[in-house]
Chain A
Amino acid sequence: MKRGAILRKQSNENNRLMGYLFLLPNIIGFAIFTFIPVIAACYISFTDWDGFGKMKFIGFQNYIKMFSDKVFLVSLKNTLVYTIGSVIPLIIIALLVAMALKEGMKFVKVFRAAFFIPHVTAIIAIAAVWQLLFHPTAGPINQFLRSVGISNPPSWLSSTHWAMFAVIIMTVWKSVGYYMIMFLAGLQGIPDSLYEAASIDGAGKFRKFFNVTLPMLSPVMFFTVIIAIINSFKIFSNIYALTQGGPGYSTNVLVYNIYVEAFQKLKFGYASAQAYVLFMIILVITLVQFKGQKKWVNY
């Protein structure tokens, strides 16, 4: 066909030139201010740099040291627990809220704003409030729990067993609005005609959700899950503001540990190595997702 022939004529060279041209504005800035520092940090991870003196190349020593470092291992575990514990509720709740707050509902802008406000509020204020809410004796949460018969409610931020759980609760509450927006954008891209067609076929709410919404939403879902995982692995300011890694090390997460190693213990080399281990973990998870997208993401 004529069309096919024309398409085939478009050479890769032409495309590549165009492709790079479009990339240019973003890539130049990115290369200078992000890419180079990232590479430099990778190099630093193989040195014993303390931030000041000379950088001495020490090969894989930092990486080996990590795996007998109890604090690092605890941080790794905490980060995994945190990620699994927060990403799953976040995605589910954000999706449900987005679906409830579709266009056309009364006061929809107000509701959406209400859900979004926690995300934009200064973390320092949020941490202060949640500290009060989680107060073991006088806080509203435990008072409520006692009133429904739980005589020994958890001491939340004062307990090494419950602190992480408390952090997760605060995170989910804070970030629901953020992920809600992504789902809203995705939902808007689903044509009504698909739902109408499904109705005609006799589909009820659940069928519509599983057969129309989810598949059509899969590109956004893909994006959201990856972003949520990356953000969770990189969590820092929530911990910094609420628990500073404590009590003890129960909420010490990887990036907080990296911050302490670099800026307090002056071990930039070791900190960078930890950062790259974190990077590897996220990269592997993301690659798996990218490979897997053919199976479940419809474009």
Chain B
Amino acid sequence: MNKKKISIGKILLYVFLVIASIAMIVPLIWMLSASVKPETQIFAFPIRWIPEKFMWSNYVKVFTLYPFMTYYINTIKIAVVVTLAQIITCSMAAYSFSKIKYPERDKLFLGYLSTMMVPFQVIMVPQFIIMRMLGLMNTHTALILIGAFAPFGVFLFRQFFLTLPDELSESARIDGCSEFGIYFKIILPLSKPAIGSVTIFTFVAAWNDFLAPLIYINTEDKKTLQLGMRNFQTLYESNYGQLMAAAVCAVVPTILVFLLAQDYFVKGIATSGLKG
């Protein structure tokens, strides 16, 4: 009967997902395992997933050899501010690029978007010169300003807004609603999945950013986690145990943000309330 067929299909699906998920987190498990092993055993074959002895000293070293807590706080601060700035400014820009009509709109958007196609490596130096002229060397402000205005967020929001029918905003306009009101009270609430996505992507990108902090930050008290982790991997030493411990510590908040942002991935009520 039908019920039986569904169960088998679902069971297979679950089995497959479990296997795939394990495959996905294998490196994380390896990292956890390596973070508690002595250096000589980390790369030994055969790979030993559960170490004989748990060497927690790596974690202790990570927090004592370097101001890891400071790196943590710095990174959280930058990532949160950049994420909020992106959500606000990118959704506004996307609203303009999708819901307001003016002739040069789409060409402008393409020009804007095309800057994403230039690798950071070649704009690094001119950008650095500008930052220096603005006196923003060794500041978090510099990192925030770089991260807050990315075309990616605008593109994502715009794409999403385009799926919301124009009639929504048009009818609100006719009812006398201001543009900002339409944006804030109608479009944004319907864009939860987009907000959720941008939150995740932007937070993770800011969290894992390495090049910009390298260029703009000089002093230990302002460094971020990604910079801090490089301390464990110098030319003459390769302290993989400590590096992995640092990497494990660094990955936790991003997973948390991901889990929290999941609440935004609920079914949209996009087309309800719209008739005629």
Query: Between A and B, how many residue pairs show CB distances below 8 Å?
Result: 260
Residues in A whose Cβ lies below 8 Å from that of B219: none
Q: Is the CB of A185 within 8 A of B193?
A: yes
Residues in B whose Cβ lies below 8 Å from that of A227: 152, 155
Q: Is the CB of A271 within 8 A of B208?
A: no
Set B20, B118, B145, B159: member contacting A275, Cβ < 8 A: B118
In the complex, whether A201 has a CB less than 8 A from a CB of chain B is no
Considering only residues 9-62 of chain B, those with a C-beta below 8 Å from chain A are 13, 17, 20-28, 30-31, 34, 43, 45-47
Task: With CB as the reference atom, state the residue of chain A lying closest to B178.
Answer: A18
Docked pose: A106 CA to B98 CA in angstroms: 37
Q: Is the CB of A19 within 8 A of B105?
A: yes
Q: Is the CB of A138 within 8 A of B46?
A: yes
Given contacts A121-B251, A188-B267, contact A258 B122 (CB under 8 A): yes
Q: Is the CB of B118 within 8 A of A188?
A: no
Task: With CB as the reference atom, state the residue of chain A lying closest to B200.
Answer: A181
Set A27, A111, A114, A182: member contacting B93, Cβ < 8 A: A27
Residues in A whose Cβ lies below 8 Å from that of B266: 103, 188
In the complex, whether A148 has a CB less than 8 A from a CB of chain B is no
Set B149, B162, B207: member contacting A219, Cβ < 8 A: B162
Number of interface residues of B (CB under 8 A): 97
Residues in A whose Cβ lies below 8 Å from that of B114: 279, 283, 286
In the complex, whether A126 has a CB less than 8 A from a CB of chain B is yes
Set A32, A181, A185, A226: member contacting B130, Cβ < 8 A: A32
In the complex, whether A80 has a CB less than 8 A from a CB of chain B is no
Number of interface residues of A (CB under 8 A): 100
Set B13, B90, B149, B156: member contacting A100, Cβ < 8 A: B13
Q: Is the CB of B179 within 8 A of A18?
A: yes
Q: Is the CB of A119 within 8 A of B105?
A: no
Given contacts A222-B159, A255-B119, A286-B114, contact A120 B251 (CB under 8 A): yes
Docked pose: A136 CA to B63 CA in angstroms: 36
Find the residue from A27, A135, A178 having the highest chain B CB count within 10 A.
A27
Residues in B whose Cβ lies below 8 Å from that of A26: 89-90, 92-93, 149, 154
Q: Which residues of A pack against B, CB within 8 Å?
A: 3, 6-7, 10, 12, 15-16, 18-23, 25-27, 29-30, 32-38, 40-41, 44, 51, 97, 100-101, 103, 109-122, 124-126, 128-130, 132, 135, 138, 140, 173, 176-178, 181-182, 184-186, 188-189, 191-192, 219-220, 222-223, 226-227, 230, 233-234, 236-237, 254-255, 258-259, 262-263, 268, 271-272, 275-276, 278-279, 282-283, 286-287, 290, 299
Q: Which residues of B pack against A, CB within 8 Å?
A: 13, 17, 20-28, 30-31, 34, 43, 45-47, 88-90, 92-93, 95-97, 100-103, 105, 110, 112-119, 121-127, 130-131, 145-146, 148-149, 151-152, 154-156, 159-160, 162-163, 170, 173-174, 179, 183, 193-194, 196-197, 200-201, 204, 207-208, 210, 226, 229, 233, 240, 243-244, 247, 250-251, 254-255, 258-259, 262, 265-268, 270-271
